[in-house]
Structure 1
Amino acid sequence: MNIFHNIQDFNPDKHTIATLGTFDGVHLGHKKIIERLTQDAKKSNNESLVLTFFPHPRMVLQGNSEIQLLNTIKEKAELLECIGLENLIIHPFDQSFSQLSAEEFVKTILVDRFNIKKIVIGHDHRFGKNRSADIHDLIAYGKKYGFEVEQISAEEIDEVSISSTKIRKALASGDIQLANDYLGYNYFLSGIVVKGRQLGRTIGFPTANLKIEENYKLIPLDGVYIVKSDLDGKEVFGMMNIGTNPTVDGKERTIETYFLDFEGDLYDKEIRIHILHRIRPEEKFDSLHALKEEIKNDEIITRNFIKDLK
């Protein structure tokens, strides 16, 4: 897949079949749009293209917005590539770009720059200055400038109006199952393993402390989760705690994972942790012994969960 970081860098040799949006999460609804796009491009011998933006428009237009995103830019690109996309443009979104009228956007970008043949778009997409234009405006512009518009309705997306907002809310409330159902894959966190306080070692449960560089990445609700990772080419399951470790008077929020039946040095390595199930909230115990006993119980639950997967 070709990745471009500015609209001006993209110069297609053919017509394009395109779509646009933030595509945060690349969830089942997004996947349906991208699959339709890539299939049409192959059949018509045109190029498939997704135009997305970073920062997220809400980060720019709502200066105090603290929106957390489901994917980092790197994660989003990997997910789109897996669907078979040929070209991805990650354009810098700023105040100037937000002032483009709907018709300016269509004429100068879709028509003149992208050489668009067809646009595939979700049922609720809005665009242009102040998000003033909708699917009906786009169809009218298509007739004026000679490109086709295909709308994917909510009914086509498994009869459920899946949205990134709903997934964010599910993760924020700890409903990992609902989030994973909407995503069509297990939500994951990517980062570097760094040294923590190493308290887990003192109670027999050494953990990998994950540091995520992107401060906009959404971290699920504090608690204990069943997870899995690919470590040294092997699928390894584990228990992940998200929280402040209140039993030992922790102050900072951390992401710590005890991997089952794994021995190896993970420090400074980049790993990806897929979240499968939430066991319980994070709790403050009266003693380290009580904490250790609860973690033993978490391990029993985790091992039973793994058995049911096989």
Structure 2
Amino acid sequence: MKIIKGLEQIHSIGDCAVTMGTFDGVHRGHHMLIERLIEEARKRGLKSILLTFDPHPRLFFGGAEKVKLLTTLDEKLDLLKMFDLDCVGVLEFNQALAAMSYQAFVDEILLNKLRMRLLVVGYDHGFGKGREGTFENLKRLGRQLHFDVLKVEPLVTGEHIVKSSTIRRLLLEGDVKKAAELLGHLYELKGKVVKGRLVGKKLEFPTANLYINDSAKLLPKDGVYAVDVKVIDRMYRGMLNIGFRPTVNHSTQRTVEVHIHDFSQDIYGKEITVFFKKRLRDERKFENLEELKKQLLIDREQSLKI
């Protein structure tokens, strides 16, 4: 899969089928859309191209306080590697792109630069200034400019339409298990290990305190979670706390710390990835450190069973 970053670098790799969007989370609904793109491209003898945007348009318009993301750009590109796409193009979402009409985007970028012959869109797709590039408008434009448009219907699982906003809500409610079902993979969080107050070490539960570099990355609801932890290229089991550590800390700063089971390496300064499996309990304040330690032993036992 070829990755091209920047509008000035976008070029034709041959007649192609295109899909585009933010693809935040690269969830199962996206999977269905991308697989349909690849299938149609092969049937028609076309190259398959996925276009995405960085930053997320809602971040551009509102900032990190307005929307929290399921995936950073690097995480998104890693997840897209599972598909047999010919090319992924990353376009900078800026004022010029925000002001461009859908007709101009289709004509100048999709047709002239990429030689698009087929556009595959989702059921709720809309792009261009005012999000006027809907399926119906694109169908009309396609008849004028001689390209086909195909719409992929939503993926519904149980009571949920699989979409990024639903997954964000589930994570904010702490339901990481259901979120993983809709994502098609465990929700992940990357962070750099930084020094903490070493209280966990005193309790015989040393923790890696994580600094999350991207302020737009969504943190699940405060509480204790069973997680898998990737350190370099090896996976471990662990338990993670998100919150304010009320028993040992009166700070108003939210923290993320993970205890890695059966692990003793020095990983200060290293980046690790945690994968959320299940929420175990709320964060709460204990009477003393001994009571906290008793609960941590229970948390450890539960997390090792998951």
TM range (shorter): over 0.9
Counterpart secondary structure, 2:30: helix
Please state how far the C-alpha of 1:95 moved relative to its aligned partner: 2.3
Please state how far the C-alpha of 1:268 moved relative to its aligned partner: 1.7
Please state how far the C-alpha of 1:61 moved relative to its aligned partner: 2.8
Q: Which whole-Å deviations, capped at 9, do the CAs of 1:46-75 have from their partners, x for residues lacking one?
A: 221111111211122346852110000100
Residues 64 and 236 of structure 1, relative CA distance in 2, 3 Å threshold: closer
Residue correspondence of structure 1 range 5-84 to structure 2 within 5 A: 5-62=5-62, 66-84=66-84
C-alpha contact 1:28 1:157 (8 A) present in aligned 2: no
Q: Tell me, in whole angstroms, the C-alpha distance in 1 between the residues paired with 2:47 and 2:7.
A: 15
Gaps of 5+ in 1: 306-310
The one-letter amino acid paired with 2:60 is: V
Q: Tell me, in whole angstroms, the C-alpha distance in 1 between the residues paired with 2:232 and 2:71.
A: 24
**Match of 1:216?**
216
The one-letter amino acid paired with 1:172 is: L
Residue correspondence of structure 1 range 55-134 to structure 2 within 5 A: 55-62=55-62, 66-134=66-134
C-alpha contact 1:60 1:93 (8 A) present in aligned 2: yes
Q: Tell me, in whole angstroms, the C-alpha distance in 2 between the residues paired with 1:93 and 1:65.
A: 18
Please state how far the C-alpha of 1:39 moved relative to its aligned partner: 2.8
**Match of 2:162?**
162
Please state how far the C-alpha of 1:82 moved relative to its aligned partner: 1.5
C-alpha contact 1:188 1:272 (8 A) present in aligned 2: yes
Gaps of 5+ in 2: none
* 1:275 maps onto 2:276 in alignment: yes
The one-letter amino acid paired with 1:149 is: V
- Identity score, percent: 38
Q: Which whole-Å deviations, capped at 9, do the CAs of 1:236-266 have from their partners, x for residues lacking one?
A: 1000011111111242211111111122222
C-alpha contact 1:61 1:95 (8 A) present in aligned 2: no
C-alpha contact 1:7 1:91 (8 A) present in aligned 2: yes
Please state how far the C-alpha of 1:36 moved relative to its aligned partner: 1.5
**Match of 1:207?**
207
Q: Tell me, in whole angstroms, the C-alpha distance in 2 between the residues paired with 1:212 and 1:109.
A: 35
Could you tell which deviates more after superposition, 248-257 or 177-186? Answer: 248-257
Residues 158 and 281 of structure 1, relative CA distance in 2, 3 Å threshold: closer
Could you tell which deviates more after superposition, 34-43 or 293-302? Answer: 34-43
The one-letter amino acid paired with 1:279 is: L
Q: Which whole-Å deviations, capped at 9, do the CAs of 1:210-254 have from their partners, x for residues lacking one?
A: 222111110111100000023354331000011111111242211
The one-letter amino acid paired with 1:135 is: F
Q: Which whole-Å deviations, capped at 9, do the CAs of 1:144-188 have from their partners, x for residues lacking one?
A: 11111111012x555852110111111111111221111011000
Residues 290 and 28 of structure 1, relative CA distance in 2, 3 Å threshold: same
C-alpha contact 1:110 1:116 (8 A) present in aligned 2: yes
Residues 299 and 174 of structure 1, relative CA distance in 2, 3 Å threshold: same
Q: Tell me, in whole angstroms, the C-alpha distance in 2 between the residues paired with 1:169 and 1:157.
A: 16
Counterpart secondary structure, 1:247: coil
Q: Tell me, in whole angstroms, the C-alpha distance in 2 between the residues paired with 1:63 and 1:257.
A: 28
Counterpart secondary structure, 1:265: coil
C-alpha contact 2:55 2:92 (8 A) present in aligned 1: yes
Counterpart secondary structure, 1:25: coil
* 1:187 maps onto 2:194 in alignment: no
Residues 186 and 244 of structure 1, relative CA distance in 2, 3 Å threshold: same
Residues 122 and 224 of structure 1, relative CA distance in 2, 3 Å threshold: same
**Match of 1:151?**
151
C-alpha contact 2:232 2:272 (8 A) present in aligned 1: no
